[in-house]
Amino acid sequence: MRRFDYSSLKNKTWDNEIINYLSLIHEEKGKQAVYLRQRTEDVKKLVEIAKIQSTVSSNAIEGIRTTDTRLRQLMGEKTAPRSRDEKEIAGYRDALNTVHENFEYIPLTPNYILQLHKIMFSHTDSAFGGSFKNVQNYISATGADGKAYALFTPTAPYETPGAMRDICDAFNFAVGEGKVDPLLIIPVFIHDFLCIHPFIDGNGRMSRLLTTLLLYRSGYEIGRYISLESKIEKTKESYYDALEESQNGWHEGEDDPTPFIKYLLGTIIAAYRDFEERMELVADSPLETVRNAVRTQIGKFTKSDIADLCTSMSASSVERRLRELCALGEIEKLGGGRTTCYVRKD
């Protein structure tokens, strides 16, 4: 069976791109700490939005969706889930809330991972929630001819409990030793988790929950305010490409996780930069918030582009302010209905 030793990462020579990524994240973490101390109320406005975006995006990556109205009701726990998709959305909501509220008390062990998986499937009638797989699974892709084919064969079911124990032990030892930056250990752990693919269903969503958990436990709480899952959804082709490239030779211990490390570190940096940008917007009046968001746009932009930046505002509020800016002659509306977009008139 594959052996895991994350402490050996201290012997690896990293290229300038990864070193620069680490430096940038440490710098952005320091900037965030200042905002957290000085603008507590403004920061709070971002938390609930990030939870919603994380739940929506992590499920959307797997093709799990519902309407915006139903989503708001589910996230506010004002309705019971009806469909299979809504049950899975509610489960991710609960598991993410557990991570947000209790990460200090959730050590990385197979049992805690199983408990999170059980919570994630608690609204469904699935019998496998909270259990490792008992049948072989495969990571598949679809060719140009439309036919599916096995891209990677994960760890066999009988090896899975031992492999999960080993990667948790290797992670905890390396972090405890303190000789490797956790920002390097976390992507390698997540990569190995996805190669093991320990569950019949929910592996991708669990990997994103674990990413958030491990970042929190290492002092990087960016996912509380900016959705990492949303970033991954928007770049999912790059996400899958990085995973595929990193999987080559995994069973033989000859894999190179560098592409996935770079992908995840780049995603974290993008989230920190979004945090800083949104903090500059969130303290303004609604009209000024939208005006400042518009100023970041080049060429045509949509209401959704602005709403993505103005996360403290509802979509209807953003739309109202766009109408005001049109009336003021600062922007021009083009098209109508689903094709509606805007351009600046400066």
Query: How far apart (Å, rounded) are the C-alpha atoms in residues 217 and 48?
Result: 20
What integer pLDDT is reported at residue 190 of this predicted model? 98
pLDDT of residue 174: 98
pLDDT for 43 = 79
Domain at 285-344: CATH code: 1.10.10.10
The mean pLDDT of 181-185, rounded to a whole number, is: 98
- List, in order, residues 6 or more apart from 78 with CB less than 8 Å away: none
Taking residues 236-262, report their average pLDDT. Answer: 95
* pLDDT band at residue 58 using 50, 70 and 90 as cut-offs: very high
Rounded-to-integer distance, Cα 65 and Cα 7, Å: 40
| Across 267-287, average pLDDT | 83
pLDDT given at position 342: 96
Phi, psi angles (nearest 5°) of residue 129: -60, 125
Task: Using pLDDT thresholds of 50, 70 and 90, give the confidence band for residue 72.
Answer: confident
Question: What mean pLDDT, rounded, does the chain reach?
Answer: 92
pLDDT digits (tens, 9 = 90+) for 166-179: 999 999 999 999 99
Q: What is the pLDDT of residues 199-247, one digit of tens each?
A: 999 999 999 999 999 999 999 999 999 999 999 999 999 999 999 999 9
Q: For residue 1, how many other CB atoms are within 10 A of its CB?
A: 12
Domains 6-281 and 285-344 share a fold: no
Which pLDDT tens digit goes with each residue over 125-156?
989 999 999 999 999 877 667 777 788 999 99
Class of domain 6-281: mainly alpha
pLDDT at residue 283 in the model: 60
pLDDT tens for each residue of 281-313: 666 678 888 888 898 898 999 999 998 888 777
User: Distance (Å, rounded) from C-alpha 281 to C-alpha 298?
Assistant: 18
Q: Enumerate residues 6+ apart whose C-beta is below 8 A from 153.
A: 136, 138, 139
Question: In the prediction, which pLDDT does 282 show?
Answer: 65
What are 310-330's pLDDT values in tens digits? Answer: 877 788 889 999 999 999 999
Compute the average pLDDT of residues 153-165. 97
H helices of the chain, in order, are 16-38, 40-60, 68-75, 84-102, 110-120, 160-177, 182-196, 203-217, 228-234, 236-247, 258-282, 286-294, 303-309, 315-327
The reported pLDDT for the residue numbered 270 is 95
Domain range list for the chain: 6-281, 285-344
